[in-house]
Amino acid sequence: MSQLNRYFQLVSTETNIKVIPHVMRHNFATQAIIAGVAAEHTASCLGYKNITMTEYYTHIKDETTSNVIDIMEARLSTNKEIG
């Protein structure tokens, strides 16, 4: 196991969240698109010449940024009331 894989395993174990490069690429692409970064720019950051793979990574269909923010705020508010 490489040192990099050990680091990912350590972070995964400590956070109880599966952290691997592939998942991180998906998250980066999705968050960039949600933040309003053009697909072409996101593709370039990921090393792609066109946006086809970027569209594959994002998994965003009909959501809008405001819809995502509303959902997150609602969940955070619910968690505050419980805690």
44, 69 in Cβ contact below 8 A? no
Residues in the chain: 83
**Helix residue ranges per DSSP H, the chain:** 3-15, 21-34, 39-46, 52-58, 65-82
Q: What is the dihedral of CA 73, 74, 80, 83, to 10 degrees?
A: -140
Q: How many domains does the chain have?
A: 1
How much is the pLDDT for 70?
Answer: 77
Report the pLDDT value the prediction gives residue 44, as an integer from 0 to 100: 92
Q: What domain range includes position 69?
A: 3-82
Give pTM, 2 decimals.
0.56
Decide which of 77 and 79 is more confident.
Answer: 77
pLDDT computed for residue 83 by the predictor: 44
Please write the tens of the pLDDT for every residue from 18-69. 888 888 888 888 888 888 899 899 999 989 888 888 887 776 655 555 676 7
pLDDT at residue 40, rounded to an integer: 92
- Give the integer Cα–Cα distance in Å for 81 and 74: 11
